[in-house]
Structure 1
Amino acid sequence: MDENEKAIEAISNGNYEEALEFLNTAIEKNPQDSIAYINFGNILAEVGESERALSFYQKAIEIDNQAAAAYYGAGNVLFNVEKYEEALQMYQKAHHAGLDDGSLHYMMGLSHFQIEKVGHALACFQRAVEWDETDTEARYYYGLCLAQTEQIDEAMSQLKKVVEEDDNHADAYYNLGVASMMTDGLKDAIYYFEQAIEAQPDHMLALNGKEQAQKMLEE
């Protein structure tokens, strides 16, 4: 077992200081070990040292410009500090370097969504769901993007699957309520708003939506 493997084992056990010692040794033995820099960056990101984490990811990229994990790690750090466009660039570089999985497509989707590129976000979330049909949050955002692009029937189909998988997903219930109002299903809308409120009693949008739907039904 080499130092990187020992470090990963230490990380899995929550022993970050021990892991960093192994990684320091790995870098001393081989300053061109991009994996050690990536693992070092992952630990720093985990403990909230964003700037230092980015510097280690950048060093890994300087050593190996096809280090997909370094681009992905840097993307996560940038996303967490709300630098969404920069994060997206890193995720795209990770993809170009060969990383292709549901988590990457989900994070690219979230980045597009945050900068209001809903069409691009929709495509990414669809790909994420294709990768992992059990990814409830990816499916939720896929449904949300479908609704925002006025594909209401398909949006409702996806959001119904979300609440089947997670019957406490207040936002999914709320958006089902909104979609129902758009298709004149006021009684259904009230039901979904009530489900959202049951899951999250202080869901102000659902409370307001229910009130509006009830008024429209009484007219």
Structure 2
Amino acid sequence: MAEIDQGIQYMKEGKLEDAAQYFTDAIEKNPQDPVHYINFGNLLLHMKDYERAERFYQKATELDEKAATAYYGLGNVHFEQENYDSAKEQFQKAISLGLEEADPYFMLGMTFLYDEQFKLSLPYLQRASELSPDDADVQFQYGLALAQTGQLDYAKSTFKKVLESQKEHSDAHYNLGVIALYDEHIDQALEHFNQALEIQPDHLLAGNGKKQIEKMLEENE
């Protein structure tokens, strides 16, 4: 196993000090290789050391101004610090440099979502969902964006797709319940809220939804 691969393996195993030592040694042996700085930046980001992570990613971009993954890393640093405008810029830069993977599209979409720019989030989350069709988290956030922009039929089918890959997804059931309630399909809504609570008994929103329906049914008796 190559040295840099071993460092990444240490990260996956949670051996962060060992990973840091490997990346430090790699930088000392080849200080002009941006990959080593990116990997160290990823480690620091994982450790929530955002200031140092940003410095390592910046160094990588100085060595290679087309290092797309470094810009993706910078986007994550800014996102975690809620600097959404800066995060958008970095994610867009990573994509423009050819990082054609689900992650940058997903994070760019999430940045627009967190900035409450729901319509602008849609094309990026849609692209992420196309690139990673089996990722329940990606599909769920795409479904949320569809729901928040009033595209309830598409949101419904997307949440159902989430449940195909992850049956125990309480939030997907909850949101399907909300859509069913909006469509006045009371029995379906109650069923989804119950399923959400079965998976996650402390799901407050599903609990509130169930109480609303039960109160509604009592009043109609």
Deviation at 1:4, TM superposition (A): 3.9
2:151 matched residue in structure 1: 151
SS of equivalent residue, structure 2 residue 70: helix
Deviation at 1:123, TM superposition (A): 1.5
TM-score where L is the length of structure 1: 0.89
TM-score where L is the length of structure 2: 0.88
Aligned partner letter, 1:215:
K
CA distance in 1, matches of 2:157, 2:61: 42
CA distance in 1, matches of 2:18, 2:27: 14
1:57 matched residue in structure 2: 57
CA distance in 1, matches of 2:131, 2:19: 32
Consecutive unaligned residues in structure 2, runs of 5 or more: none
**Which deviates more, 108-117 or 44-53?**
44-53
Question: What is the root-mean-square deviation in Å for CA atoms of aligned residues?
Answer: 2.2
Q: Identity percentage over the alignment?
A: 46
CA distance in 1, matches of 2:19, 2:133: 34
CA distance in 1, matches of 2:179, 2:200: 19
1:18–1:127 distance in 2 versus 1, CA, 3 Å: same
SS of equivalent residue, structure 2 residue 75: helix
**Which deviates more, 98-107 or 74-83?**
74-83
Consecutive unaligned residues in structure 1, runs of 5 or more: none
CA distance in 2, matches of 1:176, 1:2: 47
Aligned pairs for 1:1-219 within 5 A: 4-5=4-5, 7-8=7-8, 10-11=10-11, 14-219=14-219
Residues 186 and 217, structure 1, Cα contact 8 Å, conserved in 2: no
Deviation at 1:15, TM superposition (A): 4.7
Deviation at 1:96, TM superposition (A): 1.2
CA distance in 2, matches of 1:87, 1:152: 29
CA distance in 1, matches of 2:31, 2:178: 56
Residues 3 and 25, structure 1, Cα contact 8 Å, conserved in 2: no
Deviation at 1:59, TM superposition (A): 1.0
Aligned partner letter, 1:42:
N
Residues 108 and 124, structure 1, Cα contact 8 Å, conserved in 2: yes
1:217–1:51 distance in 2 versus 1, CA, 3 Å: same
1:208–1:54 distance in 2 versus 1, CA, 3 Å: same
CA distance in 1, matches of 2:17, 2:193: 48
The ranges of structure 1 where at least 4 consecutive aligned residues each deviate by more than 6 angstroms after the TM superposition are: none
Deviation at 1:84, TM superposition (A): 2.7
> How many residues are aligned here?
219
Q: Deviations over 1:34-65 (max 9, x none)?
A: 11211221222222322111101011112211
SS of equivalent residue, structure 1 residue 144: helix
SS of equivalent residue, structure 1 residue 168: coil
Deviation at 1:83, TM superposition (A): 2.6
